[in-house]
Structure 1
Amino acid sequence: MNTPNTESLPRPIVSFLPTAFTPDGAVDIGKMRDLADLLARHGIRPAVLGGMGEFYALRRDEARACMEAAAGAAGRVPVVAGIGFSTREATELAVDARDAGVSVLVLNPHYFAVPTPDGAAEHVRRITGESGLPAIVYSSKAQPVTEDHLDRLVTVAGFRGVKETAFGPDEVGRRVARWGDRIEWWGVGEIGGTEYARAGGNVITSSLANFSPATSIAYVRAALGDGSVDPQLAECCAAWDELLRAPEGYLGVLKAVMQALYGWHPAVRLPMTEASVATRESVARFLDRFEHLSARSNPLAG
């Protein structure tokens, strides 16, 4: 397979892999490794154990296996791993990540606990200090990284930046003006990610890259180049963003696409649920509409 030239990419792209399961419910390490390798061959940085990767539903041994699969396959590009839960558990996972060859951590939201800015900073300090890995903090609408948090986080040596979903590009632009020489900002999604990049963000995350890395690369390059995105390319990315808004959530949507294109088992770990019949029909229409994403041109299709 020809690998696209990514040297001229205006921003690095990180793609959080969904977790592949076998029919009996185990993590399918072979499929994880193959997908990480595909992304790395396109110059995209594989990431495991985000919300897209069902971090909340994996045991520690399963999480470690996902990290090892991604790091072992990627080789040439940095690998990202999400971690979380309590500070002690997160630190153990961070050490596993370091030993597996992961380069950067994303600290997932605390879910139940809502720490003070001082507590959040100490959480990051412990994890990065004991693992030796730098960390990006996930800023969610439920647990946003506020100005008070940033005032404290910038004092933590291992804190690298923020994966932003709580605040818009305008707010990020103001923060870049203040902290941009110290902190990275990661924007989510091709369309949304490029909006953050234009505001000064450093990295774009992509779910679309899991099944069409070339499409993700083409959109980012065009949107951050002269801004002239091919209409069909723009339509494809907008349709994907719309599809991710299915009632059962984005994870079921992506698993349905992975089943259609890669032959993955569609299992989704509870408490999240699989795609509904209506969503699977929407996925089929999406793939029919954008035939260049079809299994015939997909190197991972079984």
Structure 2
Amino acid sequence: MPDAISGLSAFPITPSDADGHVDAAGLNRLLQRLIDARVDSIGLLGSTGTYAYLSRDERRRTVEIAAGTVAGRVPILVGIGALRTDEAIKLARDARAAGADAGLLAPVSYTPPTEEEVFRHFEAVAGEGGLPLVIYDNPATTHVRLSPALLGRIACLPGVVAAKCPAPEPSAVEAGYAALRAAVPPTVAVGFSGDWNATEALIAGGTAWFSVAGGLFPKTCLAIVRAVEVGDAARARALNAELAPLWDLFKAHSSLRVVYALADHLGLCRAEPPRPILPLAPEIRAEVVATVQRLNLT
């Protein structure tokens, strides 16, 4: 595990059949594309990886498949979120045994937890799971928003190495990043998700881009990250602006549905999102494919 998580963390889908059995060959093709592009880390079983829809056995099997393909060349961050704390601890132990380098822990909710309950959840998994942890703040799906103060409190726990936060809108990114950076210890990386706002968050100082698009088009997304890393904000913004049609599709139809359609179009796997999520309607899929062909993404 690197001392700090940085650069492009690419999040692929987890192709599976209608019964939730993971397609090893399809997953390997997706992962090989990321390895060949030399992404900085792979985010396995994130929200795009539909971790919440897979059984414990299939989640463990997914990590085993990935660890065999990656063979230590790229750090693997694995989603270990679950409603129950004891289940998240088991998932962390499974992921560690299967070859994960870190766990992505989101406070999944049904009954909304209090801030103290969220903290105790992270404390238990950090202490008993045996994996370095990335705090996974994803309020759009968990319906739990971590305040900077709570995130900073969690970040002080032993074993927490990074935070994955939703990127603020460009108008709020400097203040949003400053608030997070002030709350989180300097030894803990602060990175961002939300592809359409990530470039500005990186320019503001974010350490990593946790990217859905990067899971399919790693070279395109790496070009933005590398431009920021060398201080060329103008080039990063120009490259990001070129992707505006893709970001519009993500916002209109959800990035999950869009990348499933594109993974199929690219011949990387033959999978549909897990039910009850439905694939895109044919006319929308045609629009998605046409847009990506025009953009010439790699």
**TM-score, normalised to structure 2's length?**
0.85
1:257 shift after superposition: 0.4
Which residue number in structure 1 is paired with residue 240 of structure 2? 234
Which residue number in structure 2 is paired with residue 60 of structure 1? 56
1:24 shift after superposition: 6.8
1:166 shift after superposition: 7.1
Note closer, same or farther for the CA distance 1:148–1:265 as it changes in structure 2 (3 Å cut).
same
Bigger proportion of residues as helix: 2
Note closer, same or farther for the CA distance 1:117–1:246 as it changes in structure 2 (3 Å cut).
same
Query: Which 4+ stretches in 1 moved above 3 angstroms?
Result: 22-25, 230-236
**DSSP-derived class of the 2:251 partner:** coil
Amino acid at match of 1:82: G
C-alpha distance in structure 1 between counterparts of 2:242 and 2:284, whole Å = 17
For residues 109-258 of structure 1, what are the structure 2 equivalents within 5 Å? 109-141=107-139, 142-165=143-166, 167=168, 169=173, 170-224=175-229, 225-229=231-235, 233-247=239-253, 249-258=254-263
Note closer, same or farther for the CA distance 1:148–1:216 as it changes in structure 2 (3 Å cut).
closer
**DSSP-derived class of the 1:256 partner:** helix
Gaps of 5+ in 2: none
Note closer, same or farther for the CA distance 1:179–1:232 as it changes in structure 2 (3 Å cut).
closer
8 Å contact kept, 1:259–1:266: yes
Which residue number in structure 2 is paired with residue 97 of structure 1? 95
**DSSP-derived class of the 2:266 partner:** helix
Q: Percent identity?
A: 29
C-alpha distance in structure 1 between counterparts of 2:107 and 2:120, whole Å = 14
1:131 shift after superposition: 2.3
Which residue number in structure 2 is paired with residue 284 of structure 1? 289
C-alpha distance in structure 2 between counterparts of 1:155 and 1:109, whole Å = 17
8 Å contact kept, 1:84–1:90: yes
1:99 shift after superposition: 0.4
Which residue number in structure 2 is paired with residue 18 of structure 1? 13
C-alpha distance in structure 1 between counterparts of 2:6 and 2:156, whole Å = 26
Q: Which moved more, 1:222-231 or 1:13-22?
A: 222-231
8 Å contact kept, 1:184–1:202: yes
Note closer, same or farther for the CA distance 1:15–1:49 as it changes in structure 2 (3 Å cut).
same
C-alpha distance in structure 1 between counterparts of 2:19 and 2:113, whole Å = 38
Gaps of 5+ in 1: 1-9, 294-302
C-alpha distance in structure 1 between counterparts of 2:90 and 2:224, whole Å = 37
C-alpha distance in structure 1 between counterparts of 2:99 and 2:129, whole Å = 12
C-alpha distance in structure 2 between counterparts of 1:282 and 1:92, whole Å = 42
**TM-score, normalised to structure 1's length?**
0.84
8 Å contact kept, 1:256–1:275: yes
C-alpha distance in structure 1 between counterparts of 2:151 and 2:237, whole Å = 39
Note closer, same or farther for the CA distance 1:164–1:154 as it changes in structure 2 (3 Å cut).
closer
C-alpha distance in structure 2 between counterparts of 1:292 and 1:149, whole Å = 38
8 Å contact kept, 2:163–2:191: yes
8 Å contact kept, 2:167–2:197: no
- RMSD in angstroms over aligned alpha carbons? 2.4
8 Å contact kept, 2:107–2:118: no
Note closer, same or farther for the CA distance 1:43–1:63 as it changes in structure 2 (3 Å cut).
same
What is the aligned residue count?
283
8 Å contact kept, 1:90–1:127: yes
C-alpha distance in structure 2 between counterparts of 1:148 and 1:179, whole Å = 8
Note closer, same or farther for the CA distance 1:278–1:232 as it changes in structure 2 (3 Å cut).
farther
Amino acid at match of 2:277: M
Q: Which moved more, 1:224-233 or 1:178-187?
A: 224-233
Note closer, same or farther for the CA distance 1:30–1:174 as it changes in structure 2 (3 Å cut).
same
Between the two structures, name the one with larger relative contact order (CA 8 Å, sep ≥ 6).
Answer: 2
C-alpha distance in structure 2 between counterparts of 1:125 and 1:42, whole Å = 35
